[in-house]
Amino acid sequence: MAKATQPQPLVGATLIDKVKELGNLSKEEKARECGYYTVTKNNVERVNMMKFLNALIDAEGIELDSTSNGQGRGGRSASYRISVQSNGNLLIGSAYTKKMGLKQGDEFEITLGRKHIHLKQIGVDDEE
């Protein structure tokens, strides 16, 4: 018995155009017509709505993830302002270290000015 080849799911502008063309069908029927389904061993068709909806979101250019690499749980975004804590510490926070690509064990030289603190990473050439 020959296995039927499954169509390649539509993406991008082609997907959007096809969905508009199928305006009167249900979501499931649109997903199926756009190639977002699988056939099980028992020849049962299963529509993959999550892949279909995610492809539509991507095709529309909507960015839902708060991180560019898709890792992590979100959290706070960098505000570029911190306050001295009650114990006298200044906590920089992971939003800044992630943005700079810092890793555990990276070392910095601290230079104090009259109204500023300058951190310079040790062992890295100046890139900026």
Between CA 10 and CA 19, with CA 16 as vertex, the angle to 5 degrees is 85
Please check the confidence at residue 80 and state whether its pLDDT lies above 80: no
pLDDT in tens, 86-119: 899 988 888 788 888 888 899 999 999 888 989 8
How confident is the model over 63-88, as a mean pLDDT?
Answer: 67
| Average of per-residue pLDDT across 64-69 | 56
Question: pLDDT class for 28, splitting at 50, 70, 90?
Answer: very high
C-alpha atoms less than 13 angstroms from C-alpha of 73 in its C-beta half-sphere: 1
pLDDT mean over 64-78: 56
Q: In sequence order, what E strands does 1-128 have?
A: 37-39, 45-47, 108-112, 117-121
d(CA 39, CA 61): 29
Whole-angstrom CA distances from 118 to 72, 111, 114 are 28, 5, 11
